[in-house]
Chain A
């Protein structure tokens, strides 16, 4: 897979359920950032996890990072209809300055 590839590509759940999205990457990274994008709109920054961190929480969001497997996961707990959006991981590669490399995203639909 390419740097920063998410799976699944699409996810449909009921309101109240948890949603888990995964991201895999290939090279060593400085950090990994998760973003949300509502249809046709801008990218909203959700959370940044550094390469020396394993887990971070922010509200209903939980991000994990496993550098040995070169993978990350984003968990949204108790999903709401307003969480319907595309979610992207973006990696900042070690030694590549500030360039973020984005994955193709997971389209999440939360049904009320």
Chain B
């Protein structure tokens, strides 16, 4: 069964450093998403992406964050200058279309900012 994959599974970085989290969505899916879950808290929406542009973003997704689909398979989340509060599990998800379609999540990347 097709699945969303994410790399790395765990990333440790120092405050102020740039990180890139990578995702390979399900191949025939058109919509891509990033969510995050701070330890012990709810899963929070960050951004959705369609047709090579951002379609929705939350207030969390400020200028420090950016997304890109550099080729036909990868979808990346970049955090330019990490802060301690960026430590969280970051989930990538994809769906076939918008509306009445399931969003399938990857296993997550645990980001630890020290």
Give the interface SS of chain B, mostly helix, strand, loop or mixed: strand
Residues of A within 8 A of B45 (CB): 99-101
User: CA separation between A99 and B35, bound complex, in Å?
Assistant: 10
Residues of B within 8 A of A97 (CB): 48, 55-56, 98
Question: Could you tell me if A100 and B100 are in contact, using CB atoms closer than 8 angstroms?
Answer: no
* B contacts with A, residue count (CB < 8 A): 27
* A contacts with B, residue count (CB < 8 A): 25
- 26 pairs, A vs B, C-beta closer than 8 Å: A30-B100, A31-B99, A31-B100, A35-B105, A40-B110, A42-B106, A42-B108, A43-B105, A44-B105, A45-B102, A45-B103, A45-B105, A48-B100, A92-B99, A97-B48, A97-B56, A97-B98, A98-B33, A98-B48, A98-B98, A98-B103, A99-B45, A100-B33, A100-B43, A102-B43, A103-B42
